[in-house]
Amino acid sequence: MTNLFNYIDRPSPIHRLTGACKLVCLLLWSVAAMTSFYTPLLAALTVAALILFRTAKLRVKDISFTLGAMIVYVILNNVLIYLFSPGHGAQLYGSRTVLLTLPGRYSLTAEQLFYHLNVVLKNACTIPIVLLFVCTTNPSEFAASLNRIGVSYRISYAVALTLRYIPDIQREYHDISLAQQARGVEMSKKASLIHRLKAASTILIPLVLSSLDRIEVISNAMELRGFGKGKKRTWYAGRDFSAADWLSMAACALLVLLSLTLTALNGGRFYNPFV
């Protein structure tokens, strides 16, 4: 069965950072990458992301499956953009340099290519960071980190419950699916789409109804133990911030500032080499 969080335990400076710190850094990094279209910044972020990836001692082998899926995803996304608006780049950058004349509106322009480069860079600078977070953060530390960065402990606990019960529900899904197949419900590729949807619902109903019972049992147990009475809660997997944590969070905060200043100085979100 597939592992939810592909946590890979290997001693490295990135692994030693606390989960809360890595979560903050991930969010700040995403914000910096999301708000800016300043190409040099995006390129620099991509290079930095790859260097960080090396520092965490992750190997391409560890993530080859997700990496393959991601590359397919990025390619499809770009093909789709080109199919629907081949003139988007020219429109954004306010000029049109035709490189290759093609029928209809599908002429290849330098502006469109540059726009695609931006889209690819945008994906390339966040994907390694998300993978980094997923591979180097212990799942049980994750909920503790949420509480640490100011999310109410009740919601953090809900996230902890989710992580705790995903394997259980997965197992139950599998069991029910096998039981229904034994009773002759066809859900392989041989059945038609509508048929498969119907087959899925024969698993869904027992799964959901048993989960509702589970909600009842767990909430009673938690209520009996006085959950939610105190203002605060301690976490078994929680850790204190170290100097390295503060340093990396400050660096990421600076990145966001840099991204915002560049947008302001540039007078727009798009870096335009064509004017």
Partner 1 sequence: MKKFSVKTIVAIGIGAALFFVLGRFVAIPSPVPNTNISVQYGLLAFLTVVYGPIAGALIGFIGHTLIDFSLGSGIWWSWVIASGVFGLLMGLAAKMLKMNEGEIGKKGLVKFNIAQVVCHLVCWMAVAPVLDVYMMGEPWDKLIAQGLTAGIANAVTTAIVGSLLCVAYAATQTKAGSLTKED
Footprint on residues 141-200 left by partner 1 (CB under 8 A) = 152, 154-155, 157-166, 168-170, 173, 193, 196-197, 200
Q: Which of 60, 61, 84, 267 binds partner 1 (CB under 8 A)?
A: 84
Of 17, 21, 37, 90, the one binding partner 1 (CB under 8 A) is: 37
CB of 69 to partner 1, least distance (A): 7
Q: Residue 133: CB partners within 8 Å, gap ≥ 6?
A: 22, 23, 26
Cβ contacts of 106 within 8 Å, gap of 6 or more: 82, 86
* 86, 101, 116, 230, 253 from 92: Cα distances, Å: 12, 20, 12, 54, 29
Q: Is 66 an interacting residue with respect to partner 1 (CB under 8 A)?
A: yes
Cα–Cα distance measured from residue 42 to residue 44, given in angstroms and rounded to the nearest whole number: 5
Residues of span 206-235 touching partner 1 by CB under 8 A: 207-209, 211-212, 214-216, 218-219, 222-223, 227-228
Return the structure tokens found at 131: 């993978």
* Residue 163 beta carbon to partner 1: minimum distance, rounded to whole angstroms: 8
Q: Return the amino acid letter for 169.
A: I
Taking CB under 8 A as the criterion, the residue among 8, 44, 70, 258 binding partner 1 is: 70
Binding flags for partner 1, 99-138, as an x/- string (CB under 8 A): -------------------xx--xx--xx--xx-xx----
Nearer to partner 1, 109 or 118 (CB): 118
User: Closest distance between partner 1 and the C-beta of residue 229, in Å?
Assistant: 10
CA proximity to 263, closest of 106, 2, 4, 42: 42
Name the minimum Å distance from CB 243 to partner 1: 28
| Binding footprint of partner 1, residue count (CB under 8 A) | 74
71/254 with CB nearer partner 1: 71
- What are 273's two structure tokens? 């080499």
**Beta strands 98-100; 108-109: pairing state:** antiparallel
Cβ–Cβ under 8 Å, residues 167 and 4 = yes
CB of 56 to partner 1, least distance (A): 14
In contact, 26 and 133? CB cutoff 8 Å: yes
